[in-house]
Amino acid sequence: MAQHHPNEEEPLLEEPTPERVVALYRQAIEAFNQRYFFECHEFLEALWMAEPRPVRRFYQGLIQIAVGFHHLTGGNRRGARNLLGRGAAKLEAFRPKRYGVDLDRLLRSVRRCRGRAGDGPALADSPRLDSHNHLRRSLSA
């Protein structure tokens, strides 16, 4: 059964203003940290689709990680391992940090969870995403 984020908005990003980009990104971070992985994916997908620059690969990596954890919540361990691995590979190029996310820490956690995905309680170890006060400046650059 899918979880629904209590503050979920329609994630479509028709006009990618800096304010809207920051708002969607913050919603994605919040959703991920509250383990609303499907909703996180929706917010990030709106950003990914609107982003013409190479940083869209960063969004795609986060999307795949969120969907990987969503698969874990549904018991699809094979799908989880696959997407967590693909997402981690995409994020390697953006280390050590991007848009407030400590990618070194995130990737360590994802690899640990991916390695345990077949053993049981990997979801209990799901990482949290960080964001900081310089987010607006970072996202608009």
Report residue 122 as tokens.
Answer: 């990997």
- The reply to whether omega before 6 is within 30° of 0 (cis) is no
Quickly list H helices, 13-134: 18-33, 37-50, 56-73, 77-91, 103-116
For 18-140, CATH number out of 3.30.1490.190, 3.40.50.300, 1.25.50.10, 1.10.3450.10 equals 1.10.3450.10
- In this prediction, residue 116 carries a pLDDT of 73
30, 32, 64, 141 from 98: Cα distances, Å: 16, 16, 16, 12
Listed by start position, the domains of the chain span 18-140
Q: How far is CA 137 from the centre of its chain?
A: 20
**CB atoms near residue 117 (< 10 Å):** 23
pLDDT (tens, 9 = 90+) of the chain, 141 residues, equals 344 444 445 555 677 788 999 999 999 999 999 999 999 999 999 999 999 999 999 999 999 999 999 998 888 989 999 999 999 999 999 999 999 899 999 999 998 888 776 555 455 567 778 765 445 445 544
